[in-house]
């Protein structure tokens, strides 16, 4: 049982996922700090409030801190934009370049319609089942 657990934990994809989660959490903390300490005060200076986190209203003794929500939305948008421009766009470009650089399929072989074996495209008979091959168009 312990050997099975050890094998599960040491699989490449589990370790990769764990590393990705840790790096993602650290990246989220950096972006959240960036938003709270730089972006929010900059936007608040334009709007006239010193900080979004202080924005709140009270109804029947319950305080609604909508400024913290604004901070969270800005953080989310910046994280999503960073992931898109740093990960998604480069991966799409790499996939596009890889697809563009692929050689066309090799047409030196064809499939025999009788036995489905790979035979040379110029063959008149299949080497495996000896069936006559139709003329190439």
Domain boundaries, the chain: 2-101, 107-137
The predicted pLDDT at position 63 comes to: 92
Contacts of 119 (CB under 8 A, 6+ apart): 109, 110, 111, 112, 126, 127, 128, 133
- CA–CA distance, 119 with 126 (Å, rounded to integer): 7
pTM of the predicted model as reported, rounded to 2 decimal places: 0.51
User: Among the listed ranges 17-31, 34-48, 113-127, which one has the minimum average pLDDT value?
Assistant: 34-48
- CA–CA distance, 21 with 17 (Å, rounded to integer): 6
Architecture of domain 2-101 in CATH? Orthogonal Bundle (1.10)
Average pLDDT over residues 124-132: 89
- Is the pLDDT at 137 greater than 60? The verdict is no
């Amino acid at each position: 049982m312990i050997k099975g657990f050890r094998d599960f934990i040491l699989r490449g994809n589990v370790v990769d996922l764990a590393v990705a989660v840790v790096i993602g959490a650290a990246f989220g903390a950096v972006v959240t700090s960036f938003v709270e300490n730089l972006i929010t005060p900059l936007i608040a200076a334009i709007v006239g409030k010193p900080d979004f986190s202080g924005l709140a209203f009270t109804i029947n003794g319950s305080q609604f801190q909508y400024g913290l929500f604004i901070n969270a939305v800005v953080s989310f948008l910046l994280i999503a934009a960073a992931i898109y421009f740093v990960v998604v766009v480069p991966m799409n470009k790499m996939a596009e370049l890889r697809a563009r650089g692929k050689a066309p399929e090799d047409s030196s072989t064809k499939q025999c319609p009788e036995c489905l074996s790979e035979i040379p495209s110029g063959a008149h008979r299949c080497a495996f089942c000896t069936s006559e091959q139709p003329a190439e168009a």
